[in-house]
Amino acid sequence: MEILDSLRMSVKKAINFIGFARGFFIRKNPIKMFIDSIVNSLKEMLTVKQKLKMAQYRVNYHKHQLHKMESLIAENNEHTFLRGKNLNETR
């Protein structure tokens, strides 16, 4: 009798655990999360070259803009020695 109750309690606990596990898999779905993670990693790996090219383009564009600003500042500066061609007459 005691063994039968113990067996019944073990089966109830196992069924309860299976219910909790089933609910967890329905809510979280770790297999789908794992597959999504792999797919996202592959997408990132395949687009790294394109992202690198875009970053290089942005860096070169900003360098060009900086050079352009520096040359405009040097042209419009009252200190003509920054231009390099004329002497500074205000000194």
User: What is residue 28's DSSP assignment?
Assistant: H
At 39-86, the pLDDT tens digits run 999 999 999 999 999 999 999 999 999 999 888 877 776 665 555 555
| C-alpha separations of 1 from 5, 12, 13, 14, 15 in Å | 6, 17, 18, 20, 21
Identify the residue with better confidence: 82 or 7: 7
- The two tokens of residue 1 are 């009798």
CA–CA gap between residue 13 and residue 26 (Å, rounded):
20
Q: What is the pLDDT of residue 22?
A: 94
Condensed to tens digits (0 to 9), the pLDDT of residues 8-38 reads: 999 999 999 999 999 999 999 989 999 999 9
Please name which of 88, 87, 84 lies closest in space to residue 71, comparing C-alpha atoms: 84
pTM tops 0.75, yes or no = no
Q: What is the DSSP letter of 77?
A: -
